[in-house]
Amino acid sequence: MRAAVAWAVGCMAWLAVAAARSAGAAPENVRFSGDLRYRFEYTGEEGLAGRQRDRLRARAGAEATVATNVTAVIQAAGGTGEPTSSNQTLTDGFSRKNIWLDLAYVEWRPAPGLAVAGGKLRNPFLCVSDLIWDTDVNPEGVAAQGRYGLGPTELRANAGYLWVVERTDQSDSAKLYAGQLAGRRSFGDKVSVTVGASCYLFANMEGFPLIDASNSGRSYGNSFRNVIVGGATNRVYAGGFNLAEGFAEVGFSAGLPARLYAQCVVNADADQDQTGYLVGVGLGRAKERGSCELGYEYARIGKDGVPGCFTDADRWGGGTDGRGHKVTLKYQLMQNDQAAAAGFMDTRAISDPARTHDFNRFQFDITAKF
């Protein structure tokens, strides 16, 4: 842990200088933040030996106020470079660990309730959970977010022009064109309802190589076919991804803060196994010292319901073609220190009864924020 703290402090110092110089901001206009998480994890998969590993996540960043309505953000993180995880497994004989560019964007707020950002961004879309997007995914391109209040009602609109894979022939580049509309209505101080819909159109995915940052040719559950080019066998997507999503969340007080939420998605470009859904409930909020938070989710994603390389990386080993339960418990040790536990009781390869099998994962975390 001391090595991790030293890494974070050094990274923060470098980011401070970089952000202040590049943005032309005075030191007092630069804000630093980050977090360190130590995780114990056990994975058990039917037919395979159980696996235990300890993992570290370290992130540090700086936010510089360039002008009254312009902000520049830079953040570094550990990990292997995969979009769905900043975790680094403790291994390889005390070897040095990699540092990656996790965020790098400029945000412009031309009017109240309107923001436009470009670069490697925080996810600009409203997500009640991670059915489509793992919480670690930071897309790249240009996004706009708008909010408009009408008394107890708030309307939100989000849009994105995002680069997925740049290819030599620009007409073959994979891009994401996305739009989202949502509304939130408050009923007094204790009840709120949010509903929304999203459209995610991925261009140039069908017939193109699988997206896998680990370079192992993994399909993450999606359907693929083999194509021979120059004597080499390449895996390509068997279909495209044109997603329509609906989501809803109800927040209320039951002695403790509580929420009920749901997501559903359908891929119009797939002929079968093209849907996914998630339902969940949360009770409490781990924020003040001594407070707790309990959560439960059930999720199911068909083989081609979403791009498997971007959805949650923990359920059934990551990707699509699975179903299962997730239970979480969080406890706030101190203002910026939290302990958490999560259990996943899942089933993999649900599209093929001959291959369907159980997958379980258990995680125990200690997280410190600064």
Domain containing 12 equals 2-369
Q: What pLDDT, on the 0 to 100 scale, is given for residue 5?
A: 39
Q: What pLDDT, on the 0 to 100 scale, is given for residue 215?
A: 82
CA distances from 293 to 37, 290, 301 (A): 18, 10, 26
The residues that bridge with 179 in the sheet, in sequence order, are: 159, 199
pTM of the model: 0.91
* Tokens of residue 69, six digits: 């309505």
CA distances from 67 to 111, 126, 334 (A): 14, 26, 34
What is the helix (H) or strand (E) element at residue 153, kind and residue range? strand 153-165
Find all residues with CB under 8 Å of 165, minimum gap 6, and list them.
173, 174, 204, 208, 211
Distance CA 366, CA 332 (A): 10
| 138 touches 122 (CB < 8 A) | yes
Q: What pLDDT, on the 0 to 100 scale, is given for residue 294?
A: 98
Q: What pLDDT, on the 0 to 100 scale, is given for residue 12?
A: 46
| 164 touches 174 (CB < 8 A) | yes
Q: What pLDDT, on the 0 to 100 scale, is given for residue 181?
A: 98
DSSP string over 200-220:
EEEES-BTSB---TTSS---T
Mean pLDDT, the chain cut into blocks of 10 residues (370 residues total) = 43 48 63 97 97 98 96 97 96 95 98 98 98 98 97 97 94 97 95 98 97 90 92 91 98 94 98 97 96 98 98 97 98 97 98 97 98
The CATH number that applies at residue 311 is 2.40.160.10
Distance CA 51, CA 305 (A): 28
Amino acid identity of residue 272, one-letter, is Q
Q: What pLDDT, on the 0 to 100 scale, is given for residue 26?
A: 54
Q: What pLDDT, on the 0 to 100 scale, is given for residue 10?
A: 47
How many domains does the chain divide into?
A: 1
**22 alpha-carbon distance from chain centroid:** 28
Q: What pLDDT, on the 0 to 100 scale, is given for residue 27?
A: 64
Q: What pLDDT, on the 0 to 100 scale, is given for residue 148?
A: 97
Q: Is 319 left (phi over 0), alpha (psi -120 to 50) or beta?
A: left
Q: What pLDDT, on the 0 to 100 scale, is given for residue 70?
A: 97
